[in-house]
């Protein structure tokens, strides 16, 4: 979906090789038909995997727009046209996926406390403690090399997959094809999101072609995200790294690779080592200009003095902050909202998932796990 002496990410050709090694392991354990078919044509591998389904699903081979996209993709990427047409054509339409992408109905109140409770509970905290203890050396190395705190990495992997326990059971090809060609038109950003998922489908097919891997071997979320850190195909290409040094990138089975890749993602998205994620804030109601403070949303725009001049009073550490800040509002249903002053590092977390609620859940889960470890 990490920074001053930062390691470089692998070149594309090498990444394809290590991606192939990792995915071959997954394919062997989840889809044995495709694993044995790699010595034959790629078309045969795709056909064999799709034929394993007992039912007759709705396939994209019947859609002229999907087939035109396949032809264009093949020409643009210099891929085998028939293989691309078969891969996209045998992807299944998943009717539940477009519904999952729709935002809540208008008027549905947001509730930070309810959202927080979904991700910060004793089960997830204890799983985080075990994960941290088992991979302490890798987390310390990631923090040392990238400057991303261990508790932020632990928070991300915990919120995303409960430390690998819930990585998703959707075939990524099906999920991406569904969202590329049947993204819900009722979504407020339908056109933009359609193009995003078409690019992700293209990245997936380009990777699996270069790696000679059956594209139907991959499992992930309903949005096409994969592995412990739920990377989209484009993020796998750009930010995934071989952090355990075994010569391959495996975000499914190597927690160490996932740890390093999450850290690498954050560095690439503006994480500033040593900077807090947020500060406490109170309001001086006599001079509060709340609409002005909330207008930039979560994008850090204000200096500490300008924030305070508009009535948002920072704690002592926040008042000394020299970077940009944003007033972050977290609604609590019918109760009064909660507020924090988010830094550029708070904003960096939202680049993983564009939500202030998500960012606070990551931050607070990591802090709870750290506190539980210390007890």
Catalytic positions, please? Answer: 160
Are the C-beta atoms of residues 309 and 284 closer than 8 Å to each other? no
User: Across the strands, what pairs with 278?
Assistant: 342
Bridge partners (DSSP) of residue 330 are 338
C-alpha closest to that of 225 among 194, 267, 271, 179: 179
Residue matched to tokens 């905290």: 125
Find, among 216, 12, 181, the residue nearest to 98 by Cα: 181
Pairing of strands 335-342, 278-283: antiparallel
Give the 3-state DSSP-derived string for the chain, with helices as H, strands as E and coil as C: CCCCCCCCCCCHHHHHHHHHHHHHHHHHHHCHHHHHHHHCCHHHHHHHHHHCCCCCCCEHHHCHHHHHHHHHHHHHHCCCHHHHHHHHHCCECCCHHHHHHCCCCCCCCCEHHHHHHHHCCHHHHHHHHHHHHHCHHHHHHHHHHHCCCHHHHHHHHHHHHCCCCCCCCEEHHHHHHHHHHCCCCCCCCHHHHHHHHHHHHHHHHHHHHHHCCCHHHCEECCCCCECCCCECHHHHHHHCCCCCCCCCCCCCCCHHHHHHHHHHHHHHCCCCCCCCCEEEEEECCCCCCHHHHHCCCCCCCECHHHHHHCCEEECHHHHCCCCCEEEEEEEECCEEEEEEEECHHHHHHHCCCCCHHHHHHHHHHHHHHHHHHHC
How far is it, in rounded angstroms, from Cα 153 to Cα 163?
Answer: 11
């Amino acid at each position: 979906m990490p920074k001053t002496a930062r390691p470089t990410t692998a070149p594309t050709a090498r990444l394809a090789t290590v991606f192939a090694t990792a995915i071959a392991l997954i394919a062997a354990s989840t889809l044995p038909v495709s694993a044995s078919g790699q010595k034959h044509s790629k078309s045969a591998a795709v056909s064999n995997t799709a034929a394993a389904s007992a039912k007759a699903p709705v396939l994209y081979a019947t859609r002229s727009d999907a087939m035109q996209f396949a032809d264009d993709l093949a020409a643009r990427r210099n891929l085998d046209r028939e293989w691309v047409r078969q891969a996209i054509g045998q992807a299944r339409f998943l009717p539940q996926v477009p519904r999952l992408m729709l935002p809540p109905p208008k008027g549905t109140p947001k509730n930070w406390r309810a959202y927080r409770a979904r991700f910060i509970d004793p089960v997830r905290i204890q799983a985080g403690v075990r994960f941290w203890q088992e991979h302490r050396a890798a987390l310390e190395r990631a923090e040392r090399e990238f400057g991303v705190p261990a508790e932020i990495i632990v928070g991300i992997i915990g919120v995303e997959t409960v430390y690998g326990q819930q990585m998703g059971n959707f075939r990524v090809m099906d999920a991406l094809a569904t969202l590329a060609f049947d993204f819900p038109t009722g979504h407020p950003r339908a056109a933009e999101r359609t193009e995003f998922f078409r690019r992700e489908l293209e990245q997936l097919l380009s990777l699996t072609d270069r790696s000679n891997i059956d594209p139907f071997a991959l499992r992930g979320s309903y949005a096409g995200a994969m592995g412990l850190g739920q990377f989209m195909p484009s993020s796998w290409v750009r930010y995934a790294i071989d952090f355990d040094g075994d010569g391959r990138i495996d975000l499914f089975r190597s927690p160490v690779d996932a740890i390093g890749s999450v850290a690498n993602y954050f560095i690439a998205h503006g994480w500033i080592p040593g900077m807090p994620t947020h500060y406490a804030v109170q309001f001086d109601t006599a001079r509060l200009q709340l609409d002005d403070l909330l207008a930039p949303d979560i994008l850090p725009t204000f200096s500490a003095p300008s924030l305070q001049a508009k009535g948002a009073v920072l704690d002592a550490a926040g008042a000394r902050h020299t970077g940009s800040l944003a007033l972050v509002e977290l609604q609590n249903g019918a109760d009064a909202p909660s507020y924090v002053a988010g830094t550029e590092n708070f904003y960096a977390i939202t680049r993983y998932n564009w939500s202030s609620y998500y960012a606070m859940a990551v931050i607070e889960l990591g802090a709870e796990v750290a506190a539980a470890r210390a007890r």
